[in-house]
Amino acid sequence: MCGIFGCVSHEDVVPRILQGLKRLEYRGYDSAGVACVDDRGALSLTRRVGKLDNLLDAMRDHPVHGHTGIGHTRWATHGAPSEINAHPHTGTSGTLAVVHNGIIENHDVLREELTAAGCSFRSETDSEVIAHLVEQSYTGDLAVALRAAMQRLQGSYAVVVVDSRHPDLLVAARQDSPLVVGLGPNELYLSSDIPALLEFTRDVMFIEDQEVVVLEGGEARIFGPAGETKNRAVQHIDWGGDAAEKLEHEHFMLKEIEEQPRIIRANLALRAPGQSVAGATPLQADHLPEGLFDGLESLTLIACGTSWHAGLVAKFWIESWARLPVDVDLSSEFRYRDLLVDDKQIVVPISQSGETADTLAALREARRLGARSLAVCNVVGSTMSRESEGVLYTHAGPEIGVASTKAFTTQLLSLRLLALELAARRGTRSPAEIAIAMEQLADLPRHLEATLARAEEIREVAERFSSAQDFLFLGRGVNYPIALEGALKLKEISYIHAEGYPAGEMKHGPIALIDDQLPVVVIATPGRVYEKVLSNIEESRARGGRVIAVAQEGDQRVAALADAVLPVSDVSEELSPIVNVLPLQLLAYYIAHHLGRDIDKPRNLAKSVTVE
Ligand code: M6R
């Protein structure tokens, strides 16, 4: 939530900051702003409500130049989206400005105290207290002032400060919100995430909680809570140059859907360099700590949203292959329960961003209680990946569309490999069975390509049904989570109400919803519950429901029953979730497209939910 960006350079930083904000806009798009030390040495502030384009227009009409500056794109928490609430926020004197991502929980107490001390507040935000606190604490050293302000702050923050009294300096700090330093050839950057830095540099350093970073004189210096110097390794990010570009695609979401076969192929190749995938040990390329799985008795998968759906699929795989009990929990629920966790258990946070506040808090709580940890993350170096003992990176490249697509299928791939690895280590399946399962994975990209080749048919179905007010998605067994995922995709980008349900539960309530106005999307691919799902289709039809079926190509039985078919390639039941989700991603995309929705930036949402 919220994107922050900063730059110090010998050249004009404003174009870079605006470019960085464009990349971060998916994190929030209620308002945006830039503050920089301008050519006259004064602090210049430009803010606009609404999408970033409004800010770009304003800055085109009234250009500002400077060598040090900060920018922000906002997802409102405290205070409505308005120009006055947009960041950056200034202190009372107007010499310094801050951008903030997170929530300051004690803002009301601080606001009262600071107001009594003579500070004049202009916004309704929690963030403005930071500007006043830093200003009040300043005695000549901006980093010291920021550290003093941090002592008073409760909550989460990534914060960057610019001050016209220090025209070549940026200081920043974090607590529970992401912050990355980018090291360019002639300039230094600060950003909420890596994709915003890629066009400027691939060399980054991650800031840890309670640290302050000072960018000055071509150097980034990091200090711990007591002011002690911290050494931090520079990491090189090898995501491709155009990985965060839309290229010829109309939307990031469509690009990311279409990328899936290529990414999964590359991902598998990574895990089996110079050999056939069938011969590879599932997790041989993932450097996991010794003993991580020794004596393991159970797994708990924790996640939010789409990542939680990936966990639900993985439960089927791990329990079936490794014969270990698996719990799958929503992070926001897990973190506030009286947990039964011990060191025989491994907790697996699943997260595209690796920064989701609830999942991070759940991971920390489980670790505190003694659980082992293995993160499944996409963003390299993310907080979750650093705070877990082991990491399975999903190698999806940057995912920019707010609706998660390729992150989901690559999470499924990683979790499938985890299931096979555990089965191999525990001897619950033979080496021959593991090799066959690996071979099936190697074939997966072909199935994904064949399914994506039917996109035009899916578009037609989508347009035919796009006037519906509600949708019901049904799936069973390993495809029940895919019904949940199909419904989530549709509601988040089209704003049409959709419910995902296990097909076997239909008669226990949701069947009352069915009439001739309700499209029922049924996942009806072959498997152990195929016949049962066909009965669910019959039951829906008998009540006038219009059935859209995800079915294997050439399945005449389903075709005869359904009003429309979304065809998929003939993959095994176990791997079918990875294929079956594709037509549902496309269905949601084309419906939203037909309705003219803002697909990559749906209303009220942000890509990374870094506040509770
Ligand atoms: O970065 P994470 O995977 O932790 O994010 C979890 C959810 O916020 C995310 O999957 C969300 O539900 C997506 N918008 C779904 O498309």
> pLDDT of 342-390, one tens digit each?
999 999 999 999 999 999 999 999 999 999 999 999 998 888 999 999 9
Q: What is the dihedral of CA 240, 243, 248, 251, to 10 degrees?
A: 170
Known active-site residue 36: no
Per cent of the chain over pLDDT 90 is: 84
Mean pLDDT of the chain: 94
Tokens of 14: 């404003």
Decide if 204 contacts 194 (C-beta within 8 A).
Answer: yes
Residue 448, H or E segment: helix 431-452
Decide if 375 contacts 389 (C-beta within 8 A).
Answer: no
- How does residue 77 score in pLDDT terms, banded at 50, 70 and 90? confident
By three-state DSSP, how is residue 128 classified?
helix
> How many other β-carbons are positioned within 10 Å of the β-carbon of residue 225?
13
At 252 the pLDDT is 94
**Does residue 588 line the site of ligand 1, with CB under 6 A?**
no
At 608 the pLDDT is 78
Decide if 404 contacts 306 (C-beta within 8 A).
Answer: yes
Rounded CA separation 58/71 (Å): 14
Rounded CA separation 455/461 (Å): 10
> How many other β-carbons are positioned within 10 Å of the β-carbon of residue 339?
18
| For residue 268, pLDDT beyond 80 | yes
Q: Is the dihedral of CA 19, 32, 168, 218 positive or negative?
A: negative
Residue 303, H or E segment: strand 298-303
Which phi and psi angles does 239 have, rounded to 5°?
Answer: -65, 145
Which residue puts its alpha carbon closest to atom 4 of ligand 1? Answer: 351
Q: How far is the CA of 31 from the centre of ligand 1 (A)?
A: 22
**Does residue 137 line the site of ligand 1, with CB under 6 A?**
no
Tell me which of 108 and 26 has the higher pLDDT: 108
At 508 the pLDDT is 92
Q: Is the dihedral of CA 392, 309, 444, 526 positive or negative?
A: positive
For residue 223, what are the β-bridge partners? 212, 229
| For residue 293, pLDDT beyond 60 | yes
Q: How far is the CA of 606 from the centre of ligand 1 (A)?
A: 9
Q: What is the mean pLDDT of residues 48-60?
A: 94
Rounded CA separation 249/294 (Å): 46
**Does residue 610 line the site of ligand 1, with CB under 6 A?**
no
By three-state DSSP, how is residue 160 classified?
strand
Q: What are the C-alpha distances in Å from 58 to residues 32, 47, 54, 119?
A: 11, 8, 6, 29
Rounded CA separation 17/189 (Å): 9
**Does residue 114 line the site of ligand 1, with CB under 6 A?**
no
Q: What is the mean pLDDT of residues 102-112?
A: 95
Which residue puts its alpha carbon closest to atom 12 of ligand 1? Answer: 305
DSSP string over 386-414: HHSSEEEE-------SSS-SHHHHHHHHH
Decide if 351 contacts 375 (C-beta within 8 A).
Answer: yes
Which atom, in ligand 1's list, is nearest to the CA of 353?
A: 1
For residue 44, what are the β-bridge partners? 36
Place of tokens 């870094």: 610
Pocket test for ligand 1, best of 309, 405, 609, 610 (most atoms within 8 A of CB): 609
Which amino acid makes up residue 130?
I
At 25 the pLDDT is 87
Tokens of 522: 């049924």
Pocket test for ligand 1, best of 27, 302, 304, 611 (most atoms within 8 A of CB): 304
Which residue puts its alpha carbon closest to atom 9 of ligand 1? Answer: 305
Rounded CA separation 314/411 (Å): 9
At 133 the pLDDT is 98
In degrees, to the nearest 5, what angle opens at C-alpha 200 toward C-alphas 197 and 204? 55
Tokens of 298: 């159970």
Rounded CA separation 376/392 (Å): 5
At 129 the pLDDT is 98
Known active-site residue 22: no
At 192 the pLDDT is 94
Domains and CATH numbers, the chain: 3-236 (3.60.20.10), 252-442 (3.40.50.10490), 451-594 (3.40.50.10490)
Which residue puts its alpha carbon closest to atom 7 of ligand 1? Answer: 305
Q: What are the C-alpha distances in Å from 448 to residues 25, 166, 259, 524?
A: 30, 54, 10, 17
Of the listed ranges 1-5, 151-155, 492-496, 588-592, the least confidently predicted one is 1-5
Per cent of the chain over pLDDT 70 is: 99
By three-state DSSP, how is residue 229 classified?
strand
Q: What are the C-alpha distances in Å from 347 to residues 66, 302, 322, 390?
A: 47, 7, 16, 11
Give residue-wise pLDDT tens across range 423-445: 999 999 999 999 999 999 999 99
Rounded CA separation 246/113 (Å): 47
Rounded CA separation 73/100 (Å): 10
Pocket test for ligand 1, best of 306, 376, 603 (most atoms within 8 A of CB): 306
Place of tokens 């999806």: 396
Rounded CA separation 117/137 (Å): 12
At 242 the pLDDT is 64
Which atom, in ligand 1's list, is nearest to the CA of 411?
A: 3
| For residue 241, pLDDT beyond 70 | no
Rounded CA separation 176/197 (Å): 20
Decide if 254 contacts 260 (C-beta within 8 A).
Answer: no
Q: What is the mean pLDDT of residues 398-413?
A: 96
Rounded CA separation 361/340 (Å): 16
Tell me which of 278 and 152 has the higher pLDDT: 152
Tokens of 250: 């109309």
At 240 the pLDDT is 63
| For residue 531, pLDDT beyond 90 | yes
Distance of CA 451 to the CA centre of its chain: 25
Q: What is the mean pLDDT of residues 164-168?
A: 96
At 573 the pLDDT is 97
